Amino acid sequence: MPFSTWSLAKLADFLVAEGVVDDISHEGLRVLLREEGVSFQRVKTWKTSRDPDYAAKKARVEHLYAIADGEVIAEDDEPEVVFCLDEFGPLNLQPHPGRQWAERGGRHKDPDREPRPRRRATYTRPHGIRHLFAAYDLGKDKLYGHIKPTKTRTRFLEFCRYLRSLHPPQTRIAIVLDNYSPHLTTKKDTRVGDWATANNVELAYTPTNSSWLNRIEAQFTALRYFTLDGTDHTSHKQQGSMIRRYIIWRNKNAADERLREVVNRANVA
């Protein structure tokens, strides 16, 4: 059978045609697959990291997660607080595909109803972009975010200083982040490393091409699902307000069943 995607109907027909079973219902096949631990899943792809320090970086990040999850006890010189940090964006003013409640169309359409409005096309985007600097506190299960017009090293350090201000100076914190250039210390610009050393902060970098190891990515999936999918904001002020209100709602409703479902499905680390 020339299929790469198999429905229950096609799979049941194939099993009967091959003589594996004489007959099987679709629901019976569904139950059998569930009992064997098989589910219908979306296939994802990602690049294999070629970082020479992949194992060491991954082990350190996972150890920090274990500390935050209470699986291991932090030693005297280890962080007590763990943040996952990344930028979300660029945030354009454009129609976003998504799902929403709407009046039925096709043969079920009310003949007296006006046509449903279509999403506008964006041939030009003259309003610029924004970036969301965001951090996820693993211990408190809390999301923080600041929207900025650019994502430079200066903006990054501003957000890091904010995270640092959330805890007493003597409390050592760790920030898990990727190796995007504004996050790094370079020969020409040592501000990031100097700030971390002076402020009792550990910067734990994920390996190259391993953004999936950063737990904030799953939080971004939920943010996109609940706040951006199906929208067409007319201004950055409107879009930014929506994002900020979502973060407030998310932190007050961290145990929301649908939120946990979206996050858990997206979480790899």
What pairs with residue 146 in β-bridges? 133
**pLDDT for residue 232:** 77
In the chain, DSSP finds a helix count (H) and a strand count (E) of 8, 5
pLDDT of 192: 96
Kindly state whether residues 37 and 64 are assigned to the same domain: no
Q: Is residue 214 part of a domain?
A: yes
pLDDT of residue 118: 66
- What is the extent of the structural domain holding 31? 1-41
Q: Are 64 and 176 spatial neighbours (Cβ–Cβ below 8 Å)?
A: yes
pLDDT at 162: 97
Handedness of CA 38, 45, 51, 221 (dihedral sign): negative
Are residues 30 and 134 both part of a single domain?
A: no
If one compares 59 and 92, the residue with the highest pLDDT of the two is 59
Residue 221 CB partners (closer than 8 Å, separation 6+):
262, 263, 265, 266
Q: 37 and 63 share a domain?
A: no
242 in the same domain as 187:
yes
Rounded Cα gap, residues 195 and 157, in angstroms: 8
- Could you tell me which of 47, 10, 210, 240 has the C-alpha nearest to residue 147? 240
Same domain, 80 and 9: no
| Angle of CA points 126, 130, 134, to nearest 5° | 165
Helix 191-198 × helix 153-165 angle, to 10°: 10
Q: SS3 of 32, please?
A: helix
Cα–Cα distance measured from residue 117 to residue 223, given in angstroms and rounded to the nearest whole number: 25
pLDDT per residue as tens digits for the range 133-146? 999 999 999 999 99
For 110, how many CA atoms within 13 A lie in the half-sphere containing its CB? 8
75-123 confidence digits (pLDDT tens): 888 999 999 999 998 888 877 777 777 777 667 777 777 776 666 666 6
What mean pLDDT is predicted for residues 136-159? 95
Task: Indicate whether 269 pLDDT > 70.
Answer: no
Q: What does the pLDDT read at residue 245?
A: 96
Give the Cα separation of 186 and 188 in Å (integer): 5
pLDDT tens by residue, 168-225: 999 999 999 999 999 999 999 999 999 999 999 999 999 998 988 999 999 999 999 9
121 plus 234 within the same structural domain = yes
Q: How far apart are CA 148 and CA 201, in angstroms?
A: 23
Same-domain check for residues 225 and 124: yes
| Mean pLDDT for all residues in the chain | 89
* Structural element, H or E, at residue 253: none
Measured CA to CA, the distance from residue 189 to residue 184 in angstroms comes to: 9
Are residues 235 and 181 part of one domain?
A: yes
